Chains A and B, each alone.
Chain A
């Protein structure tokens, strides 16, 4: 079975270091090496190394690149500074979310620039089709899928910047959050960004595939004595859930609009149009019909995706993600409910496989790092 799956440049490392490999969006990826909780805690207290090479990397260059991206995503791209990274949504005409993406404006050392869009592995093919369908009038844009040219490593946690700084020729601590830069790893050109998906400070490295394993091992070796660990998709999920970051296919899908997903910060409707922008203006005026909330439970049973949320006997919504929070030591979940049930402190219940258990609406995120 695994032979048909795509492999990242770190695949052999994962396989030879106890990585439990699963099919994730057509890629053979490690869900965990040992304990998800140990990998989660290592990321919160030291550093976690995540292979995120499966994420799609799409490159846009040419004079019209910024304007084209501006016509495609929910946030303005034309006013981005060189070196900036911006989170936004790609929406369809109904304002349903096709993907949540990061757009990088990369200034190269030779003075030229390009834009990079990092997309979810599960949406890469769909987004490429969508982009190609929109490129027609933009002859001055060059578009390329460069996903398999590089490996991508996320290093997250309190030690992350220090550990990666040892390997690159730029001062990460001086880079602002949500910024990116070209850098050298040894004599190889890489892109490093202060981004991540864990609620911790950290960075993500895009490096040539041939130096992926040695870079990964080097960072791990430098940090191991102080608790750094390789971490899989399992820990990535518990970490992002504690940080209340939405996940495509769970909190986000093409039937959900960014405003009900609580992503208002990533929607800019001022004097601009993109697919679904008219719908979003109407939603903004009339209010959302449902909204993303956080829920906490007191028992040990964990609410999972699709479990029903109830107010008394009335079914009012559904869980989109749930886990037992390693940091908070209690079950947490996100889901959608009508806005009149979304107030912090509201007592609801969740149908946990036939038994309704009390749950309370809590403020998101569940976990916020001390800065």
Chain B
């Protein structure tokens, strides 16, 4: 199911975050913004983390490679990877067709919510992208 991007939070490094309550805390679903996917184009390879990996906000959680260049994907939150979209690396086209749905990357169980304060809302992110594309 595709999430309305206007309800998501965004990192300056172009990952999106959807936070939902779950048993014993909160879980963040993390993906890559449509803006970033379009900018990358011609994707050829993606590496995602293992379930159980502990991440701090700003740490690389994986990488994505296009014909042109390789980019790190960063965790926008502190937590532990509890689920990985393992179908995605073999179907990179899903990232373009459904970046806010089937193109999600990982689900992270939050260990600390402080990092959420560094994320911006949809309107602020759109403004940032508009400036970046100039």
A interface residues, Cβ below 8 angstroms from B? 31-32, 34-37, 234, 238, 299-302, 304, 323-324, 326, 353
Contact = CB atoms under 8 A, between A and B. Distances in A.
Contact of B67 (A34, A238, A353): A238
Interface of B: 41-42, 44-45, 63, 65, 67-70
Nearest to A31: B68
Contacts of A36: 41-42, 67-68
A37 to B, nearest CB: 5
Contacts of B65: 300-302, 324
A304 B70 CA distance: 9
B44 A234 contact: no
B70 A302 contact: yes
B88 to A, nearest CB: 13
B71 to A, nearest CB: 12
A31 B41 CA distance: 12
Given A31-B68, A301-B65, A302-B67, 20 more contacts: A32-B41, A34-B41, A36-B42, A36-B67, A36-B68, A37-B67, A234-B67, A234-B68, A300-B44, A300-B45, A300-B65, A301-B45, A302-B45, A304-B70, A323-B67, A324-B42, A324-B45, A324-B67, A353-B63, A353-B70
B32 to A, nearest CB: 17
Contacts of A299: 45
Nearest to B133: A20
A251 to B, nearest CB: 18
A42 to B, nearest CB: 14
Contacts of A302: 44-45, 65, 67, 70
Contacts of A35: 41-42
A300 B63 CA distance: 12
A37 B41 CA distance: 9
The 9 closest A-B pairs by CB, nearest first: A300-B45, A324-B44, A37-B42, A324-B67, A36-B42, A36-B67, A35-B41, A301-B45, A35-B42
Contacts of B42: 35-37, 324
Which one of A238, A301, A326 has the highest number of Cβ atoms from chain B below 10 Å of its Cβ?
A: A301
